[in-house]
Amino acid sequence: MRISFAGGGTDVSPYPEEKGGAVLNCTIDKFAYATLEASPDGRGGTSIESLDYNMVVNYQMAGDLVYNGELDLVKAALKVLRNPNGTPEATDSLRLFLHSDAPAGTGLGSSSAMCVALVGAFQHYLRQPWTSYDVSELAYHIEREELGLQGGRQDMYAAAFGGFNFIEFNGKRTIVNPLKIHPEIANELAYRLLLCYTGTVRLSDRIIQRQQQSYSEKRGGTVDALDATKQLAIDMKNELLRGNIDEMGRLLDQGWQLKKQFTDGISNERVDAFYAHAKEAGALGGKLTGAGGGGYLLLFCDFARRAKVAKAVQELGGRVEDFALEPMGLQTWSVRSAA
């Protein structure tokens, strides 16, 4: 999964098609896992066990994959990935076991990380020579086009590539620029950051729909805020590469003020209270890690005040999560069954 520093929202259509978007993000050590087992028994069904939803379901035919709010992301992935080349119906019986370190709706890109994990599992199973770009675009197609969930492109690319990335979106062309951050800078940044769960999840679809509508109607506040957010991503990338750690806090705060101008509902009284309390305790800046409305709040602190900020958000009922920056993206491997 990923934390987004700047540029989020400029990867949501139609902005990147018309103006080009840019985001700065990095992956963390919270993961989505997909285990796939295949048995050539000629039946062709699929069994899915989701640890997160405490659910086991079986789908025998492609016609069983109806979107009804029950594991719809997995159904969409099966529709696209079981027969990626349009070949006849697969006859292998499949068993999928799924688990995620964070639930959907918390702003860490968990749904897209799971989608990328599913693509990776099928890539390994089908022995497809897909690149990280191919995996990202397949995940985008599954989540945004096949299933119709609203959102941008950064989450799929972050999960597939891993590490620090400055990602540019120009129309349908995406360029991932991996950033070589000096280990001392990465270590200091990781220490200065706090990840606080606000205790709420949100439906990002509605927020993103309102943002898209505001931009399509060319409302000045939304357009100007998105333009400034894209420039902020460029500025933050440059400061990070120069090792100017303290600037990250100021720019995060600036980005949060801009993000709240995208549309209504990005912040609320609870989130505002968390943010104000954290700043009073010494946080230099921060933002919600996703589209808005709830989930995880990312805070940047002076090293001497980090503990005070953590205590401040905990006093309001927040939960500070331990995490580390993770350099790797999608990883797949095979294990021989003992049976």
Per-residue pLDDT of the chain (339 residues; tens, 9 = 90+): 999 999 999 999 999 999 999 999 999 999 999 999 998 876 778 999 999 989 999 998 778 899 998 999 999 999 999 876 655 456 789 999 999 998 877 889 999 999 999 999 999 999 999 999 999 999 999 999 999 998 999 999 999 999 999 999 998 899 999 999 999 999 999 999 999 999 887 666 678 888 888 889 888 899 999 999 999 999 999 999 999 999 999 999 999 999 999 988 888 899 999 999 999 999 999 999 988 888 899 999 998 999 999 999 999 999 999 999 999 999 999 998 766
CB-based contact 107:317 (threshold 8 Å): no
User: What's the pLDDT score for residue 62?
Assistant: 76
Judged by DSSP in three states, 27 sits in strand
Position 85 scores a pLDDT of 62
Q: Per-residue DSSP letters for 107-138?
A: SS-HHHHHHHHHHHHHHHHHT----HHHHHHH
d(CA 304, CA 278): 14
- Chosen CATH of 32-176 out of 3.40.50.1220, 3.30.230.10, 3.20.20.70, 1.10.3720.10: 3.30.230.10
- What is d(CA 7, CA 228) in angstroms, rounded to the nearest whole number? 9
How do the domains of the chain map onto residue ranges?
32-176, 182-321
* Helices (runs of H) and strands (runs of E) counted in the chain: 11, 12
Give the predicted TM-score (pTM) of the model: 0.93
Residue 212 three-state SS: helix
DSSP characters for 146-172?
Answer: IS-----SHHHHHHHH-SEEEEEEETT
The reply to whether 32-176 and 182-321 are identical in fold is no
Domain 182-321: CATH superfamily is GHMP kinase, C-terminal domain (3.30.70.890)
pLDDT the model gives residue 80: 94
First to last CA, the chain: 33
Helical packing angle, 245-259 and 220-242, nearest 10° = 170
From the candidates 11, 72, 92, 155, give the one annotated as an active-site residue: 155
Q: How far is CA 102 from CA 4, 65, 106, 227, in A?
A: 16, 25, 7, 31
Say whether 64 is catalytic.
Answer: no
Q: Residue 39's beta-bridge partner residues?
A: 93
What pLDDT shows up at residue 88?
46
Question: Which three-class secondary structure state does DSSP give residue 177?
Answer: strand
Give me the helices (H) in 193-295, please. 204-216, 220-242, 245-259, 269-280
The type of residue at 35 is: T
Q: How far apart are CA 116 and CA 335, in angstroms?
A: 20
Phi, psi dihedrals of residue 37, rounded to the nearest 5°: -120, 135
User: What six digits make up the tokens of 177?
Assistant: 């620029």
Q: From CA 36, how far away is CA 48, in angstroms rounded?
A: 9
CA-to-CA distance for 324 and 28, rounded, in angstroms?
6
